[in-house]
Amino acid sequence: MAELLFQSKQEKLPDGSPIIITKILGAIDGTTVRQFEDKLIGFFNQGVKNLILIFSDVKYINSTGMGLLVKLADKFQEGGGDIKLVGVPEKVIALFDMLGLLSLFKIYENEEDAVDSITQSGGAKNTPPAPPVPPPPVVPPAAPKTVKTVPTAPPQAPVSAPPRPQPKVVAPVVTPPPFVPPAPPAPASADLGGGFDLSAGIEIGSEEEMISAPSVPVSWPHDSTCISCSGPIQFAAKGNYKCPRCNSFVAIDEFGKQTLYGSVSSKIVELTCPANNAFMPAAKAAINALAQSMGFSNIFNDEINVAIENAIIIAIEKSNQRPESFQILGVVDANEMIVGIKALNPFLVQGGPKDPRLPLIARKVDRLEVFPLPNKGQLLKITKKRK
């Protein structure tokens, strides 16, 4: 039976609100997913708005856990906070990408960056109260006294007389303007509040990052270079992206500042093919070449080929000869390979009959899973360990 442990600590943001940082250890599967949900909901019910989840020691997360994570992130955001993810393993990030969920999560390479992002957003919310401070226009009341001591009061009496609306009350209000200059305190405080961008001093980060960070929003699409490989890359809008050259995962904000949250050491291959048997050899060849690049055996390739072939046949048959396509994505490291096959039609209908080829696929691999996709299609995820 899988075990799920939580190591939590609480910190406080500048505004005094609590932030929980939780390291998750173990697997989020059918036996622990309820525990996972109860723990996170418990934090929310205690009034916690911002939650940082450290995923570096999460060995596995199933489709239910993934769905819960999306649902809980929405819940925290609706409550005025957010869930940030730290140290997410490459394969889990790749799974987010396969499922089309990458843009929904805020992923950071380390705990400090995640806390920094919350601190900055919190600091922005605390700036509005600053405007109320400038109202030291209360200084004018003191001005009337000064008017009495100045000999020029008589010449200004006629000026106050013309205003018809209010006889005597308006007169003192009109006279202060000329005497505002002598009161330097008011301008000084206003200058401090509006003349200096204090958020730049609050930002946590290296001096190089702060100097290089653009100060004005960029226009979209934005042409830049990948923070990881320095190759040219175009960003359609702010959010999370995967570099088409080095396959690293980066986030970009409205100012064009990039954050690297997943430098990929695994090898990745992606292929989109028409739902036609003629493209079966190309799909298998791509996955086989990926396995061979890591030194996997011919036996491994023979078994993974059986799984891929049957999965693609299911996708092709369910397309009913419509002009559809399927996508195949492979991620491999020294220990195992993950293959995801995405199709518009379901591989498995809940409560419906099971395709007899699914058990055959399951016998050839170590784990077989089905994930729903945002576009109503499904992802068939195959995990096979090295042989």
For residue range 94-114, list pLDDT tens digits in order. Answer: 888 888 777 778 888 888 888
Contacts of 126 (CB under 8 A, 6+ apart): 14, 15
Residue 127 CB coordination number (10 Å) = 11
Unique residue bearing structure tokens 């939780």: 22
Q: What is the mean pLDDT of each run of 10 residues along the chain (387 residues)?
A: 87 86 93 93 92 92 86 90 90 81 82 86 46 49 46 48 48 44 39 30 36 70 91 90 84 88 76 95 96 95 97 94 91 91 90 90 93 84 92
Q: What sections of 255-339 are H helices per DSSP?
A: 280-293, 298-318
* pLDDT for 24: 96
Question: Which tokens sit at 223?
Answer: 């042409």
Using a CB cutoff of 8 Å and minimum separation of 24, what contacts does 107-112 make? 107/240, 107/249, 107/251, 107/261, 107/262, 108/84, 108/259, 108/261, 109/259, 109/260, 109/261, 109/262, 110/86, 111/21, 111/52, 111/54, 111/86, 112/204
Domain residue spans of the chain: 4-124, 151-195, 209-262, 267-385
Return the pLDDT at 357.
95
Question: Closest Cα to residue 361, out of 372, 371, 370?
Answer: 370
Structure confidence at residue 185 (pLDDT): 40
pTM of the model: 0.57
Fold of 267-385: Heat Shock Protein 90 (3.30.565)
Structurally, at CATH architecture level, domain 4-124 sits in 2-Layer Sandwich (3.30)
